[in-house]
Amino acid sequence: MVDLGLSYEDFLNLIPYEVAMLHNRKIQNDKIKYTYMRNAFMNGYVNANRGKKDKFIPLFEDIDNAKKKRKIMSPEEVRKARDDFFNIVKSLEGGV
């Protein structure tokens, strides 16, 4: 629960679907973390055993390149996306 940033009471108030979604997200994050670790290890191994004329492989992706790939939303964009989502949910439930 500490890893999720939830208090004990908040965790107990989650419905099973929310718990499953949090569990899937945790698995996905672990998969990404271990993939990066595996790639860094393998790149280091290849670099250690490369020939004199072989190209060096960087251990990690360029940080600037990684930031360009990731879209970071501003707080206003997050609020708008959240409001749009809840409006869609309300309209599906017949509340709007």
- pTM attached to this predicted model: 0.48
Residue 65 domain-assigned? no
C-alpha triplet 25, 6, 80: angle, nearest 5°: 70
What is the domain range of residue 56?
Answer: 1-60
Q: How far is CA 49 from CA 53, 58, 66, 92, in A?
A: 12, 14, 27, 59
- Number of domains forming the structure of the chain: 2
- The beta strands (E) that lie in the chain are given as none
Residue 85 domain-assigned? yes
Tell whether 53 and 79 lie within a shared domain.
no
Q: Taking the CA of residue 49 as centre, how many other CA atoms within 13 Å lie in the half-sphere pointing to its CB?
A: 6
Tell whether 21 and 46 lie within a shared domain.
yes
Tell whether 21 and 47 lie within a shared domain.
yes
pLDDT digits (tens, 9 = 90+) for 23-39: 888 888 888 888 888 88
Helices vs strands, H then E, count in the chain: 4, 0
Structure tokens at 19: 């718990």
Tell whether 51 and 81 lie within a shared domain.
no
pLDDT digits (tens, 9 = 90+) for 46-91: 888 888 888 887 777 665 566 566 666 677 887 888 888 888 777 8
